[in-house]
């Protein structure tokens, strides 16, 4: 498993290859990857790039914890997360998540879980530039709902087991 916070851009091929190093010998039959890009608009119109702030130390350990949670929750053999910080132009790559499993369903679910939970629990903050004004992005209720869904499915599992 690997999790990194970095300023530099990343190559999807390089990360895919890195995931395969451990995934293939463990019998992976499915690899799912997700890449998030900087949108060029928000609710108020066009934007001119974003800036991401993080909490050195805590952000990395939160990403590690997230990978451990995904591994204990889903039947995956390998996973990785890369999150960029600093100033990013429109359309730039921000985040990459890769998961590997024997069959595709667990890899898809684990990737969705990682992204939903990342948006709620990993200390990273986004600022958007409009003209020469920058404003902090407010946390979205949608993101809370997406993360809550996983808590709810924990509850459902507990009920099933009871």
Partner 1 sequence: MVTVKFFAQVRELAGAEGVDAPLPHPATVGALREQLMSQSTSFEDALSGNVLMAHNQTLCNGDTEIAVGDEVAFFPPVTGG
Site for partner 1, rule CB under 8 A: 36, 52-55, 57-58, 61, 83, 94-95, 115, 118-127, 136-140, 143
The SS3 of residue 151 is helix
Tell the smallest beta-carbon distance from residue 64 to partner 1 (Å). Answer: 11
Let me know: does 130 contact 44? Beta carbons within 8 Å: yes
Cβ at position 150, least distance to partner 1 in Å: 15
18 vs 143 by CB, closer to partner 1:
143
Nearer Cβ to partner 1, position 9 or 75? Answer: 9
Shortest distance, position 26 Cβ to partner 1, whole Å:
27
CB-based burial, 107-138: b 16+ in 10 Å, e otherwise: bbbbbbbbbbbbbeebebebebbeeeeeeeee
Residues 6+ apart with CB under 8 A from 105: none
Indicate the residue among 63 and 77 with the shorter CB distance to partner 1.
63
């Amino acid at each position: 498993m690997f999790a990194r916070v970095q300023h530099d851009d990343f190559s999807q091929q390089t990360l895919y290859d890195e995931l395969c190093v451990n995934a293939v010998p463990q019998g992976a039959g499915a690899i799912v990857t997700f890449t998030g890009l900087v949108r060029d608009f928000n609710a108020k119109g066009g934007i001119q790039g974003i800036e991401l702030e993080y909490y050195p130390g805590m952000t990395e350990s939160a990403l590690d914890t997230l990978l451990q949670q995904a591994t204990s929750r889903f039947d995956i053999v390998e996973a990785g997360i890369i999150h960029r910080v600093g100033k990013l132009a429109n359309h730039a790559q921000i985040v990459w998540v890769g998961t590997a499993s024997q069959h595709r369903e667990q890899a898809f679910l684990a990737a969705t879980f990682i992204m939903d939970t990342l948006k709620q629990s990993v200390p990273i903050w986004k600022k958007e530039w409009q003209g020469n004004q920058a404003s902090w992005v407010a946390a979205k209720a949608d993101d809370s709902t997406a993360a809550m869904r996983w808590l709810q499915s924990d509850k459902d599992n507990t009920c099933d087991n009871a």
